[in-house]
Amino acid sequence: MTNPALSNDDLAMLATDFCGLNFQTPLSLLSGCVGFGEEYTRVKGYSNRDVGAVCLKGTTLEPRLGNKPHRVYETPMGMLNAIGLQNPGARHVVDEILPTLDFNETRFIANLSGSTIEEYAEVARIFDDSPIDAMEINISCPNVKEGGVAFGNDPDMSARVVAACRKVTKKPIITKLSPNQTDIAENARRCIEAGTDGFAVINTLMGMAIDIEDRSPIIGNNQGGLSGPAIKPIALLKVHQVYQVCRGHGIPIIGQGGVTTAEDAIEFLIAGATSVGVGTALFYDPLVCKKINAGIVEYLKRHDMSTVSQLSGSLQLNT
């Protein structure tokens, strides 16, 4: 049903549990790459049934127009983006967009953003009264009350955001960790104490591109988030570091950052991820998830594994 090339037994191998939710494959489509879940359904050959979950576009309490252009710039082996959280606001998403989604196809995860702890909590409260399956907290946003310091770069502020959202919802909370911090493992520990159910590792790295003729930044926001294959080695290390904290608590991880092939996805699973996020690759190959699913199944069979969960966290470190 999910992929004509895969049998029912193959599909059973791909199924995994994430925060108590059944993911039909270990793949997740990353927030900001697929709009509010409907964009890629218009591509011939694509189906939401090919993925375990779709993370919706970042949503704030009030509508936002986003940043001025340029918002996206291609770099060697990657992409810079500074969209600025353009979205119609949480209430519109819940009232107008969620009713159009087919929740029988896959799991849908809301992505929460805010500029204050109170805003995060209110957005979580709105999504709690909706059919959304889980909530991903984007703690890379700047805290306007603290001079613009990103919530995700300070373990204390990260934990406070998680705790505030935990108070208003019983739905699974997935905290999206920033790589732009000193100790991602310590941040993960604090977020677990505050009540997170899972992690998404990592968010984009901050970067810049310069027009040498104008001697000015190409991105209208001056800087943007770097994604794509260039960041994969960093993302793999961060997943491994966070996994060391999570494995004793049964906290799952969506590993993400530069996944374009089945081999990439398998690396993240071995490093400790339960699910693997696919994002930038979708822009040039909308059907890449079918290929990744097939590649994972082939690998599992070749290594005499019956489920993808046997692969997760199987890294053997050098001594």
Q: Active-site positions? A: 141
The DSSP bridge partners found for residue 72 are 81
Token pair 């779709």 in the structure block, residue: 54
Amino acid of residue 310: Q
Question: 59 φ, ψ to 5°?
Answer: -125, 135
- Determine the 3-state secondary structure of 238 from DSSP: helix
DSSP secondary structure string for all residues of 126-181? HHHTSS-SEEEEETTSEEGGGTTEEGGGSHHHHHHHHHHHHTT--S-EEEEE-SSS
176: left (phi over 0), alpha (psi -120 to 50) or beta: beta
CA distance linking residue 290 with residue 284, whole number of Å: 14
CA distance linking residue 299 with residue 310, whole number of Å: 12
The DSSP bridge partners found for residue 177 are 201
Q: Strands 27-29 and 216-217: what pairing? A: unpaired
Q: Strands 53-59 and 107-112: what pairing? A: parallel
CA distance linking residue 276 with residue 82, whole number of Å: 23
Are 90 and 114 in contact by the 8 Å Cβ rule? The answer is no
Are 27 and 276 in contact by the 8 Å Cβ rule? The answer is yes
